[in-house]
Amino acid sequence: MASHIVGYPRMGPKRELKFALESFWDGKSSAEDLKKVAADLRASIWKQQSEAGIKYIPSNTFSYYDQVLDTTATLGAVPPRYGWTGGEIGFDTYFSMARGNATLPAMEMTKWFDTNYHFIVPELGPEVNFAYSSHKAVEEYKEAKALGVDTVPVLVGPVSYLLLSKAAKGVDKSFSLLSLLPKVLAVYKEVIADLKAAGAQFIQFDEPTLVLDLESHKLQAFTDAYEQLAPAFEGLHVLVETYFADVPAENYKTLTSLAGVAAYGFDLVRGTKTLDLIKAGFPSGKWIFAGVVDGRNIWANDLAASLSTLEALAGIVGKERIVVSTSSSLLHTAVDLVNETKLDDEIKSWLAFAAQKVVEVNALANALVGNKDEAFFAANAAAQSSRKTSPRVTNEAVQKAAAALKGSDHRRATNVSARLDAQQKKLNLPILPTTTIGSFPQTVELRRVRREFKAKKISEEEYIKAIKEEIRKVVELQEELDIDVLVHGEPERNDMVEYFGEQLSGFAFTANGWVQSYGSRCVKPPIIYGDVSRPKAMTVFWSALAQSFTKRPMKGMLTGPVTILNWSFVRVDQPRSETCYQIALAIKDEVEDLEKGGIGVIQIDEAALREGLPLRKSEHAHYLDWAVHSFRITNVGVQDTTQIHTHMCYSNFNDIIHSIIDMDADVITIENSRSDEKLLSVFREGVVYGAGIGPGVYDIHSPRIPSTEEIADRINKMLAVLEKNILWVNPDCGLKTRKYTEVKPALLNLVAAAKQIRNELAK
């Protein structure tokens, strides 16, 4: 019996690591305190998997921020601006790269494939002096071994690391990152030797880029890399793990021919076509790590179907060569269903969080070799049947309304140029209008008020009074700063998706279903189990209240249907597009109620539109068609004078710019500063954008406060490629995670920069 887990959540069942990190960053605890919390979490994870019977337990999947950043530290690939002079990389350098500091910006952060997890993008060039500078992988292996657990150390594969990197600022565009492979491999050889000396028998290399559409020279890089590493692999079993999609046929040939590799991991949940490739030919004597338990969703596995898949594979390679595994790291799912005390029994029976998925993996591994737990499989079959037949899943009226959408493409009747003219007559905004993205700092007091209201420790009247006062303060601050288009700060919301899901039918909510998004930032994705509708207005009361405090335009703040979909755990019994159309209709009702309530500017965030783009190019057009259509449905019914904004962040948008234009929003605010302003390159290359646009002028995920001069410089770079009458000035993203001591001076400088450039333009 052989079982394996690709990776496991790091934050802990009660977000222990999150609070330890934030305490350390705030100077309230020491590095040793942080390390102690981390060690305790690792020990509990290894113990749990060992006691569950997992044979191949991963190590080095734990991270203080991000596994790609950990690899950058291992390789000593620290950008020169951080002043690192060699030696073992410590927390100061590590967290400066991740978060920036008082004087230096952070490294770029972007989405990990098509997930809501973010990684820190390596900045590389010909001058990087790679050196073995973090011994984390071997230290964690030894740590587990001392606890009596022999683990499989996990490393980000060398080729995927380079393919996920970017050329550092100032590096010639013609420079090939893959040319750094020999230097990188020299460090990998040292790491492998260290692990081997410590007693490791299995090493896992994560090479998820093998599921992408790769040119031949990139595939050749895999062949070359593993050929060079093969001598170092002697005496080891090497697993190359892929996940998140099918492995294309050419990539499959390359993967299964890699020198020195004994086992291959496949995502057989999102990559079902890979089965056909395995059936057509698989190298003899090798292992398949079969990812049949979903690492990215929370639904209980269909054990009977998974066992059937495993038996089919066993018929090809033999049962002794099958290792039952998760489809990807469990990092992308919640930690433990045991912590959920408020979910009703029926819905709870449909679910499996990370801890339960570990049990499922082991149960399938046992069943494959003839030790089937009949009671466990019977209970699972009953839960599968319950979810398919439960009346709470289906709403015929919603299904009919969604089906009726297919006769139209839902475009506003007037073109964007005419709409912007009508809106300007109503709003009377200056050139380079300033705004923020939505949220303002979530203070300890504000979180206490929401927590006590949920726990029924304060009355609704007391809650409304407290939130009303917070909104008043946020509005007054924005007026004091002289911001042009205001927001109410979202004090009533802990999370943008969770807030809306709580008010829509067809959603269920967890008490502790936290998932890491980046660093210490955790989100609690709602669970979409049934048809979606809006029973009543969700935001109109708070938006109208905020508007009553000011004569300036107040934005109504909504989350768009695609983002709600991509940031939720979504039902798998119907196409994602159908669920998205249902959400779009619910948001459409809210948009029209906001307009009736006197809100003339409405922002419908689609932060996750790019994130949901399939990994294979052949599937892009279909996804973008229904995703963009869903956004247009939300606002097709508003008047020309109602200005529709949207917001996007932390993805590469250049390749979908024409779809963004097709969304037909009046204004888009979009992350730009942390990614070295690469968004602007698309306009330099001749793309014409006629709607309003606000590329972010500073990074809100860093505590660093940008100067007026720095922001003015960014605005001037934007004016070089965008017309002044469509340009907006705003931060990269919402301000929820920052402190007022950071937000006030940053926004003061933002407004000052906008005014400075306005004066220069006027002259």
Does 302 score more than 70 pLDDT? yes
Q: At 146, which helix (H) or strand (E)? A: helix 136-146
pLDDT score recorded for residue 650: 58
Q: Which of these ranges, 156-165, 223-232, 520-529, has the smallest mean pLDDT?
A: 520-529
Q: Are 84 and 93 in contact, with CB atoms under 8 Å apart?
A: yes
Question: What are residue 137's phi and psi, to 5 degrees?
Answer: -60, -50
pLDDT score recorded for residue 675: 62
Binding residues for 5-methyltetrahydropteroyltri-L-glutamate: 18, 116, 521-522, 567
- List Cα–Cα distances, 259 to 6, 124, 196, 705, in angstroms: 22, 27, 18, 49
Instruction: Please tell me whether residue 744 adopts helix, strand or coil conformation.
Output: helix
**78-99: per-residue pLDDT in tens?**
999 999 999 999 999 999 999 9
- Identify how many contiguous H helices and E strands the chain contains and give both numbers: 27, 22
Q: What is the dihedral of CA 140, 146, 152, 153, to 10 degrees?
A: 20
Cβ neighbours of residue 726 closer than 8 Å, sequence gap 6 or more: 420, 689, 690, 691, 692, 693
Q: 695 pairs with which residues across the strands?
A: 670
Q: Are 679 and 654 in contact, with CB atoms under 8 Å apart?
A: yes
The span from the CA of 296 to the CA of 274, in Å, is 18
List the structure tokens of 219. Answer: 């595939």
The span from the CA of 453 to the CA of 470, in Å, is 15
Q: Are 698 and 706 in contact, with CB atoms under 8 Å apart?
A: yes
pLDDT score recorded for residue 182: 98
List the structure tokens of 388. Answer: 């398919």
CATH label, 2-56+134-389, candidates 3.30.910.10, 3.20.20.210, 3.40.1280.30, 3.40.50.300: 3.20.20.210
Does 25 score more than 90 pLDDT? yes
The span from the CA of 754 to the CA of 437, in Å, is 16
Binding residues: 18, 116, 437-439, 490, 521-522, 567, 605, 647, 649, 658, 662, 671, 733
List the structure tokens of 48. Answer: 């749990």
Does 153 score more than 80 pLDDT? yes
pLDDT score recorded for residue 114: 93
Does 666 score more than 80 pLDDT? yes
Instruction: Please tell me whether residue 374 adopts helix, strand or coil conformation.
Output: helix
Three-state secondary structure along 526-583?
Answer: CEEEEEEECCCCCCHHHHHHHHHCCCCCEEEEEECHHHHHHCCEECCCCCHHHHHHHH
Nearest CA-CA partner of 729 in 761, 758, 701, 707? 758
Does 346 score more than 70 pLDDT? yes
Instruction: Please tell me whether residue 258 adopts helix, strand or coil conformation.
Output: coil
Other beta carbons less than 10 A from residue 425's beta carbon: 9
Does 145 score more than 70 pLDDT? yes
Instruction: Please tell me whether residue 8 adopts helix, strand or coil conformation.
Output: coil
Dihedral angle sign, alpha carbons of residues 379, 332, 614, 266: negative
Helix axes 540-548, 460-481, angle to 10 degrees: 50
Q: Are 244 and 272 in contact, with CB atoms under 8 Å apart?
A: no
pLDDT score recorded for residue 677: 65
- Say which residue the tokens 């100077």 belong to: 27
**263-289: per-residue pLDDT in tens?**
999 999 999 899 999 999 999 999 999
List the structure tokens of 741. Answer: 């001591």
pLDDT score recorded for residue 671: 82
Question: What are residue 274's phi and psi, to 5 degrees?
Answer: -60, -30
For the chain, how many residues are written? 763
Binding residues for L-methionine: 437-439, 490, 605
pLDDT score recorded for residue 68: 98
**27-63: per-residue pLDDT in tens?**
999 999 999 999 999 999 999 999 999 999 999 999 9
**716-730: per-residue pLDDT in tens?**
999 988 899 999 999
Question: What are residue 473's phi and psi, to 5 degrees?
Answer: -65, -45
Nearest CA-CA partner of 336 in 14, 719, 683? 14
How would you label 177-203 residue by residue, b for 16+ Cβ within 10 Å and e otherwise?
Answer: bbebbebbbebbbbbbebbbeeebebb
Q: 521 pairs with which residues across the strands?
A: 518
Does 299 score more than 90 pLDDT? yes
> What DSSP letter does each residue of 459-493 carry, written as one string?
-HHHHHHHHHHHHHHHHHHHHHHT-SBB--B-TT-
496 versus 745: the higher-pLDDT residue is 745
- Say which residue the tokens 């979409």 belong to: 528
The span from the CA of 233 to the CA of 102, in Å, is 43
The span from the CA of 132 to the CA of 77, in Å, is 9
Question: What's the whole-number mean pLDDT along residues 458-487?
Answer: 96
Q: What is the DSSP letter of 54?
A: -
88 versus 341: the higher-pLDDT residue is 88
Instruction: Please tell me whether residue 412 adopts helix, strand or coil conformation.
Output: coil
How would you label 618-655 residue by residue, b for 16+ Cβ within 10 Å and e otherwise?
Answer: eeeeebbebbbbbbbbbbbebebebbbbbbbbbbebbe
Half-sphere exposure (Cβ direction) of 309: Cα atoms closer than 13 Å = 28
**Helix segments in 325-443, DSSP class H:** 345-349, 354-368, 374-389, 396-403, 416-427
**364-373: per-residue pLDDT in tens?**
999 999 999 9
- Determine which one of 118, 332, 410, 701 is catalytic: 701
454 versus 40: the higher-pLDDT residue is 40
Domain with CATH 3.20.20.210 in the chain: 2-56+134-389, 416-762
List the structure tokens of 153. Answer: 């150390």
Does 356 score more than 80 pLDDT? yes
Q: What's the distance, CA 193 to chain centroid?
A: 34
pLDDT score recorded for residue 676: 61
CATH topology of domain 416-762: TIM Barrel (3.20.20)
Question: What's the whole-number mean pLDDT along residues 546-569?
Answer: 96
Binding residues for Zn(2+): 647, 649, 658, 662, 671, 733
The span from the CA of 143 to the CA of 199, in Å, is 12
Other beta carbons less than 10 A from residue 457's beta carbon: 11
Question: What's the whole-number mean pLDDT along residues 332-354?
Answer: 95
The span from the CA of 214 to the CA of 193, in Å, is 30
Amino acid at 489: G
* ∠ CA 488-491-493, rounded to 5°: 115
**166-187: per-residue pLDDT in tens?**
999 899 989 999 999 999 999 9
Question: What's the whole-number mean pLDDT along residues 442-464?
Answer: 91
The span from the CA of 606 to the CA of 649, in Å, is 9
The question of whether 701 is a catalytic residue gets the answer: yes
How would you label 359-369 residue by residue, b for 16+ Cβ within 10 Å and e otherwise?
Answer: bbbbbbbbbbe
